[in-house]
Structure 1
């Protein structure tokens, strides 16, 4: 008789997970430039050569640690009249209730001083925000509209989660939705003047 018990992770898988967790912690605290392979290895209690063995380079390790999927609303299930509201609700749900927010914190903290990290942020928004925005409004200006949506989301994330500006931190989710949702709506659809 066969039992379908979950397979215990191999030593190699556990080591990789340990390295990745150490990298996430240090990238969140110090950004890309402030976290060395040696520091990550020390945090993971392994030899630095093991970090390179499993991830090949600091860039590859960073890319894995900073992996982030906004999972913005599917355009098929979100009508044009509520896309701004749907985007801000999803964004808040990710930042305030998901362990995957760590990836975006890593990216934002590192992007200001590191071109590799900045490119990763550009990739996230080009591949995750633009396609959603392109489904609404004039396709010819989808890039500009997606850029405005990204500026609003990145500004909110920076002020609320990285800088922790007291007035922005004090806002309830309902207040953010009420104030930011209509702005995202206008940006995403191109309704009114941009």
Structure 2
């Protein structure tokens, strides 16, 4: 030993509040994920989540504004999209529509996220990031021109999200009454064109 000492400096005054803030946010998000998973979006409450996190409900509101904002921050959604290498290119539209129907019907969190995304800016951004990050690479792999991938992914999202909104949130009678195979029959050709078709020519009279 050379007699020197290793000293660990105490956190500065600005670091302690930041650490407490990070710890509080982490506790809130953990409690929110557990509550939303156990109770569903409608039954989970800010008060319940705050109690599980061991904090005052006002702290939840301070960090996330309201339940919709908290849900958007806490939800972790995986679309479980098929790998492009295993997706038959000529039938990609049908496979993808059938996949999304199965996904919407089996995941209440996804339906709740759709409702939140339609009314809450944080929810809307969360939905954009989910579809951008997960659907974008698939569209890029299937597109005849990778530079068009973002546009194609956005158009596919417009179809599957529009169908989900009408079928599962608004429960529009003609759409909600369709069988899975009927939805696939109507929607798949459009999604197929968006994913792998050629860019359509300009409509007559547009030039």
**TM norm. shorter chain > 0.5:** yes
With a CA cutoff of 8 Å and minimum separation of 6, indicate the structure with the bigger relative contact order: 1
CA distance in 2, matches of 1:22, 1:124: 21
What count of residue pairs does the alignment treat as equivalent? 168
Residue in 2 that maps onto 1:88 = 97
When the two structures are superposed, what TM-score results if normalisation uses the length of structure 1? 0.72
CA distance in 1, matches of 2:76, 2:53: 24
Shift of 1:192: 5.3
Mapped pair 1:72 → 2:78: no
CA distance in 2, matches of 1:146, 1:19: 30
Residue segments in structure 2 that go unaligned for 5+ positions in a row: 1-28, 202-207
Shift of 1:112: 2.3
Equivalent residue for 2:119, pick from 107, 113, 117: 113
Shift of 1:89: 1.1
Higher Rg: 2
CA distance in 2, matches of 1:185, 1:167: 23
Correspondences of 1:5-154 after superposition (within 5 Å):
19-23=32-36, 28-29=41-42, 37-38=46-47, 40-41=49-50, 46=52, 49=55, 57-58=63-64, 62-64=72-74, 66-96=75-105, 98=106, 101-136=107-142, 137-154=144-161
CA distance in 1, matches of 2:86, 2:169: 32
CA distance in 1, matches of 2:53, 2:151: 46
CA distance in 1, matches of 2:97, 2:161: 12
Q: Deviations over 1:16-61 (max 9, x none)?
A: 887535335787339xxxx8632544xxx657618899xx954566
Task: Classify the secondary structure of the residue corresponding to 1:150.
Answer: helix
CA distance in 1, matches of 2:151, 2:134: 14
User: How well do the aligned residues superpose, as a CA RMSD in angstroms?
Assistant: 3.3
Residue in 2 that maps onto 1:156 = 163
Task: Classify the secondary structure of the residue corresponding to 1:181.
Answer: helix
Residues 19 and 67 (structure 1), Cα distance of their counterparts in 2 relative to 1, 3 Å cut: closer
Q: Deviations over 1:35-93 (max 9, x none)?
A: 8632544xxx657618899xx954566433x3211111210111210110110111111
Shift of 1:190: 3.1
Equivalent residue for 2:193, pick from 169, 186, 193: 186
> Contact 1:159/1:168 (CA < 8 Å) preserved in 2?
yes
When the two structures are superposed, what TM-score results if normalisation uses the length of structure 2? 0.68
